[in-house]
Structure 1
Amino acid sequence: MHRTRVLYATDGSSGAEQALELLIGGFEPSGVETVEVISVVARVARGLGSRPEEAGAPETIIDAAHSEAAQRIVRDASQRLQEAGFQTVETVRAGHPAETIVTHASVRRPDLVLLGTRGLSGLSRQLVGSVSGKVARYAPASVLVARTPGPIRRVVLGYDASPDADLALDGVGSLPLRQGISVTVCTAYEVVAPLRSGIAPTMFAQVDAARREDLRLARKAADAIAADATRRLVERGVDATPRVSHGSPHEQLAILASELAADLLVVGSRGLSGIQRFFLGSTSATLVAHPPTSVLVARRNPDA
């Protein structure tokens, strides 16, 4: 049986603490091969020289106090994980947090990168543009951005039948969780209302009839997609139910996750319907910019 390799990024902040609690409280140690605990120390500028010939770009150095703090943070997190039954590896690196985590993940090839949403390194609540957002976008592995400490019981899976949505479905079924989960498969469809400007009033009825037919066909297709994903999860022993919604996919996923008080929202990194904009790009609404729960962006490990 495959055991999950986890790369846990921490800076000792409250967000990183939530991610650690989610790992300890939600994941079964026997299903995890190793947890590599990594902390990134930002380089600081030493300053410009006082003589003209020394002028130029400032030299960057690693602050000793920051390095010692990072080592302590990693050591403390590793000890807590070991006490919970996990095997750990400790790592401290220097550089820009997001770039360093992504580069390290490219070398180490974990199955899952875990980190929080806010931290001492300037993580913002908004996933886009933050360290967590950049890692979720570029890491060569699935990325779990923790917003709650766990455990994980209720999961919302965004599914649109795309290849990446299939990865998300597989990821839900293979997570090494401590307890069983209930999954709500959310398939959203959207049919844009036609513009009436420039249309003769005598054509309104025909246009409306055509849109109603489009809605009917879209709903039928969405029902079939959600039912198929639900069936596949049930066949794997997962408690799953379908939910089909009309509206923008990213908004419907966020609304459903909030409505169900979901512990985890799972999607593929790309999709046929643009679901990825919710997790990796859209800032058009508060609900979209601030998802109410932890988010798992599923991505295939190149070595898998």
Structure 2
Amino acid sequence: MSLSDASMTSLRVFREVAERGTLTAAAAALGYTQSAVSRQIASLERAAGTPLLERRRDGVRLTPAGQLVVRRAADVLDRLDATARELAGLPGEGATVRLGWYPIAGADLLPRALSALRRTHPAITVVSREGRTPALVRALRAGTIDLALLASAPPFRPPDTETPALAVRTLTERSLRVAVPADHPLARQDYLDVTDLRGQRWIGGSGDEYVMGVWPGLDERPEIAHTARDWLAKLHLVAAGCGITTVPGAIESVLPPGVRVLPVRGGPGERRRVLLAHLPRPLPEAAVRVAAALRSAALETDRRP
């Protein structure tokens, strides 16, 4: 048995596992049982004649052979899907770029970039989805997205430790700030000292997040009044006087009424980067155009006060 005997189903399942990071998550996304996913992976590994996944307590990791197979599988499946559309009599698509983005990028940076792209290159179709940085990195490796907007916090390590390393470019780097209710005593100031943050009630984030939560390095155990995953929910909780939260720089254009954002002085500087990442190979022309639009939108952000 050779890899040429592998079924399209097993390739699709394998790509989903590579992107999701666990068999359980892949099974849920596909509507399969976990045992069915395991059987498809086992069948593919028999066809390949080598392990494709390294099973670990926190999920799975692609072996070098698995990285090769998932890249080839993504190419094959995309071509098959395009062929199926043509056979179904659907109109041919123009250039399509698949983009992943971390929460908050969709509030300002992404819409401005896509709006500009529609004016300059209307034939390019961008299909995008939100995700946490680790999930987006896995999606890049699995070949299910072409570009990813990622968030990065100090000490600014690479997005993952896989080889070859992803091609990564910093689009913007800004200081972390704090959002406070407009009628809060702190809102009367032009900036906050890090000591002003002691004893405050915080709107915290849920899960592993780089932005919007408790101030990093706070020298006390914070009082977290509310926890929310959605950034807009956090800001509306701030507007309602329920607490304060951190925000990335240049978010003022999308603030709800009743919120003021202030810089913080004192203590270590807290910086956040927006990265654009892709696999280390030449990008198709359409993806190059999308990347350029994102860079231009980021430069506009940097020019804001």
Report the TM-score, using the length of structure 2 for normalisation: 0.24
Provide TM-score, normalisation by structure 1.
Answer: 0.24
